[in-house]
Structure 1
Amino acid sequence: MPVEFLGIATTSDASETTSRTTAPFDKQYLERIVRAHEDNGWTRVLFAYGSSGPEPSALAAWTAARLDTVELLLAHRPNVSYPTFAAKSFATLDQLAEGRLSVHFITGGNDHEQRREGDTLAKDERYARTQEYIQIVKKAWSSAEPFDHHGSFYDLDDFVLDTKPFEGRTPTISFGGSSDAAFKVGAAEADIYAVWGEPLDRTAEQIQRVRTEAVAAGRSTPPRIHAAFRPILGATEELAWEKAHRVLDRIEERKAAAGGVLSRRHPIDKPENAGSQRLLEIAAQGDRFDTALWTATAKATGGAGNSNALVGTPETVAQALLAYYDLGVRIVSARGYDLLDDATDFGRYVIPIVREEVAKRDAEAASAQAA
């Protein structure tokens, strides 16, 4: 099965290592970074969501009008709109993008961040709400006749969408999380289940958990698996590791300058979400795992989101990613620390190796099946 690659769309060049050098909201930079992905072999880009950030669907619509082939992954929190409004917004955007839209539903793992936009539900309630929300969105996309819905969180009557997604398709739905509630909801409802990059054995455990919960939900085909990493590339192994330690130094410098924090969205100590807790637990066991996984960046950021790195030459990082592919990972998220340059380098030097090797694997599998 072909492998896909997910990058990031942003309106500035700020990262954990880099103070912003662009305007706070720079639409020219947004076009540049998405074009760098489109021109260098990436499948799609993510428009992330934060309570204080720009509205991602507007950014995605603006981008869709300017770039022709890159796909758009829109992050969405169910607490910020009613599901019928979301369904029509997604369908409209998919029409504008001519079928290039996917949606990533974020339930929210930080109570304080959720309360910034009025969400006071407890974590397990949020997951239950997300499941009901996704079910309504999918029904709105597919139903030709008006329908009613009376659930635990939403009530509506006689709803039907006049504008469906492009050419009758259903946009891909992705979902992530590492808690019990997350696995149950995502395995039941999502097309793609997203996990953060962990050692191979821990990733295998998560993949098996997704598959087990999918069977329990009555699904014959489980979600595809998406794993996220921070690539740090060098022309040689030595240069790659020198660069990695410079990255870590820059993170610590930025953190110190900001009084020990990097983001209003994520605490450095004692994160609430299970995924970050897992990353910190792994980092406490050691800095290096398998051939290229490095946890020092996750430890320095408090396990904030996608924060474990893959360090090495393009060939080393590609072989590390192929080991995840062999476990069952089919979508790779890779976001560097120097956003534009790293997107270009990863696209030029890593993606072609991985795609070529995956094609060989697929051809060998097809030959074996035919025999």
Structure 2
Amino acid sequence: MKIFWFIPTHGETRYLGTNHGARQADFAYFKQVAIAADSLGYEGVLIPTGRSCEDSWIVAASLIDATRRLKFLVALRPGLVAPSQSARMAATLDRLSGGRLMVNLVTGGDPGELAGDGQFLSHAERYQESTEFIRIWKEIIARSHEGEAVDFEGRHLRVEGAKLLYPTWSRPHPPVFFGGSSEAAHELAAAEVETYLTWGEPPEAVAAKVADVKARAARLGRTLKFGIRLHVIVRETEDEAWRAAADLVSHLDETTVEAAQRKFAQMDSAGQRRMAELHRGKFNRANVREGLEISPNLWAGVGLVRGGAGTALVGSAQQVADRIKEYAALGLDHFVLSGYPHLDEAHRFAELVFPLLPLELRERLPGQALTGPFGEIVANSFVPKVAQS
């Protein structure tokens, strides 16, 4: 089980849909979140991409020296940069970080944003281009270890003698993650990536997606790892957690929700449609669980105004840990999490939930080999006892 956190490069808030209680999303804050994730024992951090975000590659590079073990799951969007240039960027970041790069292939999205980036391909064509892109990208990096060049001619992309002189630290290439819910996405995942990521849907829906991608990969003689992208709202008790969820949307109004949902409806992403179907725009300020708790402790309220991952695990530490274990039992071993505000929730989740996760994970967390103290010394003499989980 590998637990990842998130760098909020598209903004940070305490209350969704408003600037009330918002934090400035600048390098100093990103650095705080990264250092917290690194020191708390998270495997890595997801750094998103898009018009609303700071550039993912520059942010990742800026955090190398601030962290020690933390891996960077950097969003990579085909079509904006040539695969050979992207391979050089990846190799540089992987080398300078000592092998800490992972990439998250991003194909779908908002047609308006894509047009602004010079992308006018249809949904099907984008997946064709993405398949060609990641094949070239992987081949250039893999062959660099032998000093060889790559020729490739596809429907959308072509290279002749593409070569990488400085090979990656990671072999044969940095791990590739990818998420998508359409048939084209499942085909791409089965054929080309190492880890398939799903957004947080109810366990039965996730199980169906995992089974489908696994079967497609098996027909190609491949095996994949699987992961899930979720928000978390965890507190000492279930009641506290649901109050925190209510606080998160306490400044939302129906006009903002409706505007966000109209925008999301214009996207051609199958995953975004599935997120919208989970909540159907329902918003009851008096009872945030009504119509939005779509599975035990799985809340679709975040997706009322946030695109992409729109669900959160809400509950006590034990409840959230139990839900994570349920997903793990379906074959998921990568959990890419986030919470509002990200600095605070990174600490809270690690302190409350990490002790309840599998022993092999806990043994690798920082602090296990330290002498402490853990907690404030009592009366200048007594070191607090370590809690037994």
TM-score range with shorter-chain normalisation? Answer: 0.7 to 0.9
Change (3 A) 1:271 1:118: closer
8 A contact 1:188–1:219 mirrored in 2: no
1:302-313 paired onto structure 2 within 5 Å: 304-313=307-316
Q: What's the counterpart of residue 205 of structure 2?
A: 202
8 A contact 2:190–2:222 mirrored in 1: no
Change (3 A) 1:320 1:358: farther
1:350 Cα deviation from its structure 2 partner: 1.3
1:216-227 paired onto structure 2 within 5 Å: 216=219, 218-221=220-223, 223-227=224-228
1:253-332 paired onto structure 2 within 5 Å: 253=253, 256=255, 260-261=258-259, 267-269=263-265, 271-284=267-280, 286-298=291-303, 300-301=304-305, 304-332=307-335
TM-score, normalising length: structure 2: 0.83
1:347-366 paired onto structure 2 within 5 Å: 347-356=350-359
How many corresponding residue pairs? 348
8 A contact 1:73–1:101 mirrored in 2: yes
Secondary structure in 1 matching 2:263: coil
Q: What does the per-residue CA deviation read over 1:76-105, in whole Å, with 9 as the maximum and x for residues that have no partner?
A: 111110000001110011001100000011
1:235 Cα deviation from its structure 2 partner: 1.6
1:112-127 paired onto structure 2 within 5 Å: 112-127=112-127
Distance 1:21 1:247 in 2: 12
1:13-92 paired onto structure 2 within 5 Å: 13-14=12-13, 16=16, 19=19, 21-23=22-24, 26-92=26-92
Distance 1:262 1:39 in 2: 36
1:220 Cα deviation from its structure 2 partner: 3.3
8 A contact 1:18–1:338 mirrored in 2: no
Distance 2:340 2:52 in 1: 21
Q: What's the counterpart of residue 3 of structure 2?
A: 5
Distance 1:179 1:167 in 2: 30
8 A contact 1:57–1:74 mirrored in 2: yes
More helix by share: 1
Secondary structure in 1 matching 2:201: coil
User: Letter of the aligned partner of 1:309 in structure 2?
Assistant: A
Bigger shift: residues 103-112 or 132-141: 103-112
8 A contact 2:94–2:170 mirrored in 1: no
Bigger shift: residues 281-290 or 75-84: 281-290
**Alignment RMSD:** 2.4
Distance 1:214 1:310 in 2: 29
Change (3 A) 1:316 1:184: same
Q: Which of these two proteins has the greater Rg computed from alpha carbons?
A: 2
User: Letter of the aligned partner of 1:225 in structure 2?
Assistant: F
Distance 2:236 2:171 in 1: 46
Distance 2:150 2:191 in 1: 22
Q: What's the counterpart of residue 235 of structure 1?
A: 236
1:63 Cα deviation from its structure 2 partner: 0.3
Secondary structure in 2 matching 1:78: coil
8 A contact 2:111–2:267 mirrored in 1: no
Secondary structure in 2 matching 1:54: coil
Change (3 A) 1:58 1:316: same
Distance 2:264 2:153 in 1: 40
Which ranges of structure 2 fall in alignment gaps of 5 or more residues? 283-290, 364-389
8 A contact 2:108–2:268 mirrored in 1: no
Change (3 A) 1:259 1:273: closer
Bigger shift: residues 267-276 or 159-168: 267-276
8 A contact 2:190–2:214 mirrored in 1: yes
Q: What does the per-residue CA deviation read over 1:14-46, in whole Å, with 9 as the maximum and x for residues that have no partner?
A: 47356274445x211111011111121211011
Distance 1:340 1:180 in 2: 36
Q: What's the counterpart of residue 387 of structure 2?
A: none
Change (3 A) 1:321 1:259: closer
1:200 Cα deviation from its structure 2 partner: 0.8
Change (3 A) 1:168 1:288: closer
Change (3 A) 1:185 1:241: same
Secondary structure in 1 matching 2:232: strand
Distance 2:61 2:337 in 1: 23
Q: What's the counterpart of residue 142 of structure 1?
A: 142
1:182-193 paired onto structure 2 within 5 Å: 182-193=185-196
Q: What's the counterpart of residue 105 of structure 1?
A: 105
Distance 2:270 2:174 in 1: 27
Secondary structure in 2 matching 1:304: coil
Secondary structure in 2 matching 1:350: helix
Tell me the percent identity. 28
Bigger shift: residues 4-13 or 147-156: 4-13
Bigger shift: residues 124-133 or 270-279: 270-279
1:187 Cα deviation from its structure 2 partner: 1.4
Change (3 A) 1:156 1:272: closer
User: Letter of the aligned partner of 2:106 in structure 1?
Assistant: I
Bigger shift: residues 284-293 or 56-65: 284-293
1:225 Cα deviation from its structure 2 partner: 1.0
Distance 2:233 2:300 in 1: 12
